[in-house]
Amino acid sequence: MSDLPDARDGLTRLERIILHQLRLTQRERGGQSVPTAMLYGRVLEHIDVSREEFQAVLSRLVGAR
């Protein structure tokens, strides 16, 4: 996995997968919030990432502190 941002949008592969899966899952749930565990499971179908790394990237993407 490349930790380098893509020149097109500045996102890493992991960030792009998280955002894509979040969007798909929100749509499937009728716009409702997506449980973190559900999102993590869907992300794992595409990339091997630890819970800690996933949580750190997700927190950064959504602006949580």
Q: Does 4 map to a domain?
A: no
Percent of the chain with pLDDT over 70: 86
Angle between helices 36-44 and 51-62 (to 10 degrees): 120
**49 in any annotated domain:** yes
pLDDT-based confidence at residue 63 (cuts at 50, 70, 90) = confident
Flag whether 6 is in a domain. no
- The dihedral sign for the CA sequence 40, 43, 44, 45: positive
- 2: in domain: no
Assess contact for 51 and 41: CB atoms under 8 A.
no
pLDDT of residue 2: 57
In this prediction, residue 9 carries a pLDDT of 75
Contacts of 57 (CB under 8 A, 6+ apart): 12, 14, 15, 18, 49
Q: What pLDDT, in 10s, does the model give residues 3-21?
A: 666 667 788 999 999 999 9
The number of folded domains in the chain is 1
Spacing of C-alpha 18 from chain mean position: 2
User: The domain containing residue 34 runs over which residues?
Assistant: 13-62
Residue 7 lies in a domain: no
